Structure 1
Amino acid sequence: MTAHVGKNLPDPPRFIAVAMMTATHASIKSRPVDRQPHPPTKEITGMSSLRYALAACSLLLVATSVLAHPGPGGHQHGQAHRDQDNEVSIVTRGNYRYITANGIPDHQHGRFPNRGNPNRIAPQRYTFRVPLQPRMNEEFRSAMGQPFGVALNGVPFDPGTAEFWNRDRRSGWNYEALSGKINLGLDASNAHVQPTGAYHYHGMPTGLIAKLGDEKKMVLVGYAADGFPIYALHGHAEPNDAESDVVRLRSSYRLKKGSRPGGRGGPGGRYDGTFVQDWEFVPGAGDLDEANGRVGVTPEYPEGTYYYVVTNEFPFIPRLYRGTPDESFARRGPGRGPGSGGRRGRRPPPFGGPGVQGRGGRPGPPGGFPPPSERDR
């Protein structure tokens, strides 16, 4: 699989063409084209022609920098990883499916480093393994602390963040990457980069889905660490009827009512999705279970299977397993990605950035936002 560079770039602005035509015209001796008298013309050659050409080139460079300016979240249209192409292999041997990849996305991605993410994309050496016949457990198992799964292009699904209220993991208040309340430098595919250089998805992999096909159908986007398939957004209206309409599936998580504990016990403020702990599972509120999955038929599994769904609302990427995750997805030490390889990088900027503090002199959340307890007043 090969990364595509330069697609969907806008046409050059008209003023570039005008400038280039002006420079070209300036290097040609002016001549009268009819019998009417003309003012004296000046032949522009030598250094004068060179000055015009240099001026046109300057305009071209300015226009190019304007086109390359990244949009919100560091996304830059037409940018792909230029150092190395996407490499991924998915094979089955015995009772397992093996996914070997370098972790480079096969679609356009944002500019990294950027204001919210100081890390640069680097090739990885991933070797994941998932069972071909996964089994559902009676109890759900937490998926936090490791990648939930891997996409078909070899990029991990990894929804968790390392950002906690007051920079204290023991507080129990973990910032949600897709809350819109903090800036983690995510691109248009809801992805950014770990200090190891590992590009990974925190939510809907829009660039991947666009390459795989019709986003209004059931689209297989990857496999969870326990072996069950992962689909994006859609499923059949009747889970076990392949002839029923394909509809958008809804998460069953809802925001809690009321306010968080304040003082030393919590950040205070109303439950608004800033933290993972702002959400709770409400049985029957949507189409999916606690792991954002369900049992049903799919194009790849016409006899039916348990499958996970990536949704546009919390939890976005599932935070629980229904099966048993393979150990190949376990992290290899602090700050290291799954599998092996990669390089060391820098951690994200300290919470709040320079000079930004929360109540009582405590650090505020990343991205310069005030503490939720103060923002919600």
Structure 2
Amino acid sequence: MVLTLSLLATTSANAQRSQWRNQVSITVQGDHRYITSNGIPNHQTGLFPNANNPNTIAPQQHAFKVPAKPSQASTITPLGLWPFGIATNGIPFDPGAMEFYKRDRNSGWQFEAMLGRINLGLDMNHAHVQPGGAYHYHGMPPFSVPSGNPNNQMILAGYAADGFPIYIKFGYTDPKDMRSPLKPLRSSYQLKKGTRPSGPGGNYDGTFIQDYEFVKGAGDLDQCNGRFGVTPQNPAGIYHYFLTDAYPFIPRFFRGKPDLSFMRRPPTDDHRPPPTGGFPPRPNHRDPNRPPPLRR
């Protein structure tokens, strides 16, 4: 039995009230996996626009390509301006907030959206909407976590931009043995000790992503919030990522090479997102090898 994020979702009250329905396609052709969707959630969402997010959910033309058999790179790649990946229900995992200390992206201090120190209008799914109407997750959607995980199965949440699979927080106690019981896996990131040396000053309290540091062995996962091991879809073993309860929530590094279909340009000074917005819409970058996106 294979559980995925889409199977655990409920019908969207928002989508029911509109003319749009969730559309998503995940296919493997040759050496690549193609994911297309209209970006409409297949579950209930919060109210958008709201006081801290002025944007309305709208259909998208998400079209992504990842390696069907991904490989680990010699060095890890920071998330930067990339979305991390795409969920099995066609909604992007996009943890990076476009909010910086004094609105200066060169300040070296980027706000962390998940802890509420800056209110970006996230709903009960840890998601909100970009100016172009793209609904996206900043953390693990609570609806995706079954109470007690009674089926003792790893839950496939989606695919990262480098092609490696993403799972909800449960992993095998022994990463080499699918017969071993599941447990919630812990991130190896911790708050730094002391005070910030520049910018906002004050104690490291999780307000900014720079408040955290990776401490090898502090948890179950590596710097990319993943590990190598067996999974229901890959019984011989594969590197895979996890969504976790604590920072980084969604991984902030790639173990492989992210595909250019996920890439977007940074905002320019004359197209700067509003303080409650998030990233501007992804440019209409088309790869001729990708299938056309789903349309409403």
User: Does 2:128 match 1:192?
Assistant: yes
| 1:296–1:161 CA distance, 2 compared to 1 (3 A) | same
Number of the residue aligned with 2:274: 347
Match of 1:82 among 3, 17, 21: 17
Match of 2:60 among 124, 127, 136: 124
Aligned partners of 1:152 and 1:221 also within 8 Å: yes
Report the 3-state secondary structure (helix = DSSP H, G, I; strand = E; otherwise coil) of the residue aligned with 1:170: coil
| 1:139–1:81 CA distance, 2 compared to 1 (3 A) | farther
Q: Flag the structure with higher strand content.
A: 2
Counterpart residue identity of residue 325, structure 1: P
Superposed displacement of residue 215, structure 1? 8.4
Distance 1:326 1:292 in 2: 19
| 1:162–1:285 CA distance, 2 compared to 1 (3 A) | same
Number of the residue aligned with 1:154: 90
Distance 2:150 2:42 in 1: 17
Superposed displacement of residue 116, structure 1? 1.2
**What is the RMSD computed on CA atoms of the aligned residues?**
2.2
Superposed displacement of residue 334, structure 1? 3.2
Distance 1:101 1:239 in 2: 32
Distance 1:310 1:183 in 2: 22
Match of 2:176 among 215, 240, 245: 240
Superposed displacement of residue 179, structure 1? 1.9
Aligned partners of 1:251 and 1:315 also within 8 Å: yes
Q: What percentage of aligned pairs have identical amino acids?
A: 56
Match of 1:4 among 11, 19, 22: 11
Distance 2:158 2:108 in 1: 30
Distance 1:217 1:345 in 2: 43
Counterpart residue identity of residue 200, structure 1: H
Superposed displacement of residue 207, structure 1? 3.2
Tell me which stretches of 4 or more aligned residues in structure 1 moved more than 3 Å: 78-81, 207-210, 213-217, 332-335
Query: What is the TM-score normalised by the length of structure 1?
Result: 0.67
Match of 2:229 among 289, 292, 296: 296
Number of the residue aligned with 1:219: 155
Superposed displacement of residue 284, structure 1? 0.3
Number of the residue aligned with 2:238: 305
Higher Rg of the two aligned structures: 1
Number of the residue aligned with 1:92: 28
Number of the residue aligned with 1:45: none
Counterpart residue identity of residue 170, structure 1: N
Task: Provide structure 1 residue ranges, at least 5 long, that are not aligned to the other structure.
Answer: 6-77, 336-343, 351-377
Number of the residue aligned with 2:262: 329
Distance 1:253 1:305 in 2: 22
Query: What is the TM-score normalised by the length of structure 2?
Result: 0.84
Aligned partners of 1:197 and 1:345 also within 8 Å: no
Distance 1:108 1:291 in 2: 30
Number of the residue aligned with 2:284: none
Superposed displacement of residue 153, structure 1? 0.6
Task: Provide structure 2 residue ranges, at least 5 long, that are not aligned to the other structure.
Answer: 1-5, 278-296
Counterpart residue identity of residue 327, structure 1: L
User: Does 2:212 match 1:279?
Assistant: yes
Superposed displacement of residue 290, structure 1? 0.2
Aligned residues: 265
Identify the structure with bigger relative contact order (alpha carbons < 8 Å, sequence gap 6+): 2
Number of the residue aligned with 2:247: 314
Aligned partners of 1:194 and 1:345 also within 8 Å: no
Distance 1:214 1:171 in 2: 46
Counterpart residue identity of residue 284, structure 1: G
Number of the residue aligned with 2:117: 181
Counterpart residue identity of residue 137, structure 2: Y
Aligned partners of 2:120 and 2:276 also within 8 Å: no
Counterpart residue identity of residue 314, structure 1: Y
Match of 1:140 among 68, 76, 95: 76
Aligned partners of 1:209 and 1:215 also within 8 Å: no
Distance 2:227 2:145 in 1: 21
Superposed displacement of residue 253, structure 1? 0.2
Distance 1:296 1:216 in 2: 16
Superposed displacement of residue 348, structure 1? 3.5
Number of the residue aligned with 2:281: none
Superposed displacement of residue 82, structure 1? 2.8
Number of the residue aligned with 1:108: 44
Counterpart residue identity of residue 232, structure 2: P
Distance 2:272 2:41 in 1: 19
